[in-house]
Amino acid sequence: MDRPRPLLATDDPALLDDLLRLAAAASIEVHVASSAGAALRDWARAPLVVVGGDLLAALADLEPPPHPHALAAVGPRPSGAPPPEPDALRLGVRALLHLPGDEARLTDLLADAGRERPGPCPVVAAVGGRGGAGASVLAVALAMAGVRAGLRTALVDADPLGPGLDLVCGQDRPGGTRWEDLLTREGRMSWPALSGVLPRVRGCPLVTWSRGPAEEVPAPALRSVLGAAALGGDLVVVDAPRAPGPGAAEALRRCTAVLVVVPADFCSVMAAYRLVPRMRTHSSVLHLVTRGAGTDLPGTAVASALGLDLLGDVPDDPRLRRGLDRGDLPGADGASALGRAADRLLGALRAPVAG
């Protein structure tokens, strides 16, 4: 059976052109009914119904069952035409939208109706407890774990002082849209449209910079990209910056889990001890991931010192650095130490909370 589509009910050619244009902007497919009777066929199944002012009275006369997401859309009212409010009230629409003034709102509602999931997906950030902790590598490995799990995964490089996740992924200047093209974006974005022009790693869309100096992503642009990715996929992994700033704060606020990566040594723990209180001002979902914990400094001791829940450990693997130098994709091999650790961490994040 075809997936239900929003329903546009109108026999007004000008209004239909406007509604189809807004549906295209929302990157969704719709059904169109040019009569009240035709609209009833898909009325109950449609996730959203938009009734044109020309069919309001006819549909209200047919007394369809109440629809929780029925809207009325009207253009400029010709002189002498009856007001639409009484018929909209009889039909029980959720809102009466006046075009063109309410076009942005209607586009948002159409985009929401086109989502397969009722809400955003998990957004997981990796942040280094100190510089060079391995957060970028873990972010890539988590994204590859998501791909292995069959999740529609997006990878977002939000750290302008990192090496660039395309470089970490071993890709040599892959084509596609970069942050430089997105820095001025604000408001809702279409993830299907955006992901189609991004570079990809094993099928995973990647948002990152071009080579060379990079500026911090403005909070509105980061909000737009993360919001679109969270609504359009199953998992978003973010390489978040350690440096304070509006972009870093926005990234932390948007995440459903923040993994603080801390190598198991004294200096790394002390650096993280300085960082964690600032991160707590923006996120209440901090988790600890140790790197190379062992008998000398177990992960539980690091967790106790930082006051964080221990999610897991990534074992040190001397082959990893050599692989990165060769351009190997971190965590792509599920049998590697990093791949197994990433799979375990993703499983822990996806596990239901007992209670």
- What pLDDT was estimated at residue 68? 87
What is residue 148's predicted lDDT score, i.e. its pLDDT?
Answer: 95
Question: Would residue 118 count as lying in a domain?
Answer: no
**Are residues 215 and 328 both part of a single domain?**
yes
Q: Are residues 295 and 207 in the same domain?
A: yes
Q: Are residues 62 and 182 in the same domain?
A: no
Residue 74, pLDDT score: 95
Give bridge partners of residue 31 from the DSSP assignment. Answer: 7
140 and 268 share a domain?
A: yes
Exposure b/e, 291-318, CB count within 10 A at least 16 = b: bbbeeebebeebbebbebebbbbbeeee
The verdict on 189 and 57 lying in the same domain is no
Residue 115 is predicted with a pLDDT of 63
In a domain, 148, yes or no: yes
Domain final residue pick, 91, 113, 135: 113
Residues 165 and 260 both lie in one domain: yes
If 0-12 CB within 10 Å is exposed, 13-18 middle and 19+ buried, where does residue 273 land? Answer: middle
- Output the domain CATH number for residue 96: 3.40.50.2300
Domain ranges, residue 75: 7-113
With a pLDDT cut of 90, the percent of the chain lying above it is 64
Whether residue 171 sits in one domain with residue 296 = yes
CB 115 within 8 A of CB 247: no
Residue 354 binned pLDDT confidence (cut-offs 50, 70, 90)? very low
221 shares its domain with 342: yes
Residue 105 lies in a domain: yes
Q: In this structure, are 265 and 293 located in the same domain? A: yes
Round to whole Å and give the CA distance between 255 and 283.
Answer: 8
Residue 312 sits in the same domain as residue 165: yes
Q: Which residues pair with 156 in a beta bridge?
A: 207, 238
pLDDT digits (tens, 9 = 90+) for 267-320: 999 999 999 999 999 998 999 999 999 988 999 999 999 999 999 999 998 888
Q: In this structure, is residue 33 part of a structural domain? A: yes
At 4-59, the pLDDT tens digits run 889 999 999 999 999 999 999 888 889 999 999 999 888 988 889 999 999 999 99
Domain boundary among 113, 132, 166: 113
Identify whether 49 is part of a domain: yes
Query: How confident is the model at residue 2, as a pLDDT?
Result: 58
Instruction: State whether 258 and 346 are in the same domain.
Output: yes
d(CA 83, CA 273): 64
Residues 107 and 128 in one domain: no
Using pLDDT thresholds of 50, 70 and 90, give the confidence band for residue 244: confident
Residue range 106-146, pLDDT digits in tens:
998 888 786 655 567 899 999 999 999 999 999 999 999 99
Residue 244, in any domain of the structure: yes
Give the number of domains in the chain.
2
Cα distance between residue 348 and residue 281, in whole Å: 24
CB 352 within 8 A of CB 320: no
Is the pLDDT at 264 greater than 70? The verdict is: yes
Of 113, 135, 160, the last residue of a domain is 113
Query: Tell me: the pLDDT tens digits for 199-235?
Result: 999 999 999 998 888 889 999 999 889 988 988 889 9
pTM (2 d.p.): 0.71
Position 322 scores a pLDDT of 87
**CATH number reported for the structural domain that contains residue 338 in this entry:** 3.40.50.300
Q: Residue 352: is its pLDDT beyond 70?
A: no
Note whether residue 320 is domain-resident.
yes
